[in-house]
Each structure stands twice: as C-alpha cells, then as structure tokens.
Amino acid sequence: MANKALWNFSAGPSKLPTEVLQQAAAEMLDWHGSGMSVMEMSHRGPEFTQICDEAEEDLRRLLTISDDYAVMFMQGGATAENAIVPLNLLHARPAHQADYLVTGIWSAKSYKEAARYGQVNLVASNQSTQEIQGQTYQAGCWLPPVETWQVNPEASYLHICTNETIGGLEIAEPPAPASLGAPEVPLALDVSSHFLSRPLDVTQAGLIYAGAQKNAGPAGVTVVIVRRDLLGHAQAICPSAFDYLNVAKERSRFNTPPAYSIYICGLVFKWLLKQGGLSAMEQANKAKAQALYAALDESGFYHNGIQAAYRSRMNVPFVLHDESLNKKFLEGAEQVGLVALKGHKSVGGMRASIYNAMPIEGVHALVAYLKEFERLHG
C-alpha cells in the first residue's frame, strides 16, 4: 500500500497535516540552525522558549484569547484533566460543589472521576433510551433539553463535554450559565475532539481543555485555557505540577513539558493560520460532514442513530444493517486505503473521524466505498 493513497480515519492519535510532518522531518536534526533537534533542547533554553511562546501566541490569535485567560500546555491528556479540573476548581466557590452534564462515555468518566475529589451533582443525563418526536434514540444518542438541566447556582463550575468522540454527539454552542439560571457558574468545557475545528468564544467559559491528538497535534500534550480569576484555588492534595497557578506562572514550564509535542502543536497552529483560521476550517469541515451524513442518510444499508441536531462534524459513528458484514466491510476498506474505521469497542459498528487534516478527497473516497460495498452486499 506504499504507493496507494491512504486515508486515516483514526479517532486519535489522528492524521496530521502533511505539510506539518514534512516540516518536522526537515527540522528533525537541526532546528533553525541551532545544531539540535527539538527533542534535545533544554526546556528552559532560548530555543525552546521561542518555540513554546510562539505556540501560545499563535493559539491566542486563532481563538482571540485575551490576557484575562492563561494558556497552558500540560500533560496527561483529557483523562488526567478529569482529575486536575476538580482538584483546581472544586474549591473556587464556597459551596465546594461541581455540576456535570453526562452525554456519553467521556463525560460519564469525567463525572465519575470528579466524584473522587468532592461533591459533584448530575445536571442531566442521556444514558437511557428516549423517545423524541416519535423517534426512539438509544443511550448517548440524544441531548436532554436545556430546560430540564438542574444547575446548582452555587456550583464552582458546570462541566460539559462538547463533543463525545466515541458516541458522535456534539454540542456546538453550550448554553450560557445565565440562561440556565446560574449566571455565576463558570463553564468547564472538554472540547478535545472538536477543538480548533470551528471558532470558539472563549469568553463564554471559565475553563477549556483539549487533548491535542485530534486537531491540534500529537498525543502527549493537553491544551488548557483558564480564566485567571479561577487560578489559585487548588485543593491541598493537588500535585504541584498540576496546580494551574504554578503552570500558568511558568508559562507551561513549571517542570519539563512535553516539548516535542508542543513543537508539533505550534506547527499545526501556523498551518491553521495559513489556511485562513478557524472560520475557514469550519467551512471545510461542514462540507466533509454533510457529504458523509448525506451518504449514510440516503442509504437503508447504513445508519447513524444520533439526534440530527447534535450530530458531530468530527466523529461519525454508523452501523451496517447486517452486522455480520462488519469484518468484510473493514477488510475491503483497508484494501482500498481506508483505515481505522472500526468503531470503539464499547459501541461497535464503524466510526469515521474526519478532523481538520482529513481532506475532502478522503471523505469522497469513503463515500464511494460505502456505495460500492452496498451495491455488492445490499
């Protein structure tokens, strides 16, 4: 398959822009005449200081992040943030409580982890079958109406996973706390799998975090954006390396950071700016998602069960009408260069993740295969 186009639909670590990989390869042994690879640099030396600072500046440009917010590159992925967020924010307000919305596997993990560090309240959940306008949706495939959310006005934060990578449910615009009757409650958003795929109004949240390995870079770094008034509230048991105040003061270099991953993120940020920024990426991502969902919806052979208004643009799960064909579907896909389409083990079926670096040609190749496979086996 070395001479054949290969389209990588992995949910993460995912496809990176070819231009970014080519630049990283060219700079592998000698970054900008320094005589060193980025992998060899001191994290406090002038070379890496420049790399890290430029990455932060470019991310601020992409998202229009003001100095009211700290931008940090941390370790442990979004899974670690499930603990780090409550360790830092649960005591930010006197009640020492947090609210969680559960909309799928990842937010359920966040809720469960946070409960280890204090009192957390379940705002609403979609972990049951629900009938909406005459259609039955399975657990994780629908969004509880906002008016049913039970938000505690005294909560330290309201946690929302805005895109469920496994389930394929996306909340494009989380409701403002004021509309929920809790204007003083900051939003804490896990935006991992649609981060940088569309514009995001940072000012509507107190905290935003994302594992980089979807749209922002390779595995190993987590982007954390936190409003500065929320710094300095870490619980006594919080490790010093995970205290947002410490990391923010040292601009992500409180201890040795994931230096090479930050470098690749910086290249991705520059690539995104070169593409025209997040508004341009949103238009490209809309076109890809529309093409794929249209192919699924036009067929009785495939099915996506997510409530239409909340279908993810990034992660598109689907099942075959005859699940006994799953293995044959995946084998045939690999033969034509379509890889990593197997769904998560917890939900089965298929999943196509179509992040920023996936060009429309990859989606067209998948659509062509869907139609051909149906022709042969439908």
Residue positions annotated with a catalytic role: 106, 190, 214
Residues 358/9, Cβ–Cβ less than 8 Å: yes
Q: At what angle do helices 277-297 and 46-63 cross, to 10 degrees?
A: 60
Q: Name every residue whose Cβ is closer than 8 Å to that of residue 149 and which is 6 or more positions away in sequence.
A: 101, 123, 124, 180
Give the integer Cα–Cα distance in Å for 297 and 292: 9
Count of beta carbons in the 10 Å neighbourhood of residue 178: 10
Helix and strand element counts for the chain (H, E): 9, 16
Which of 263, 194, 238 has the alpha carbon at shortest distance from 56? 263
372 touches 295 (CB < 8 A):
no
Helix (H, G, I), strand (E, B) or coil at 368: helix
Place of tokens 């440009």: 61
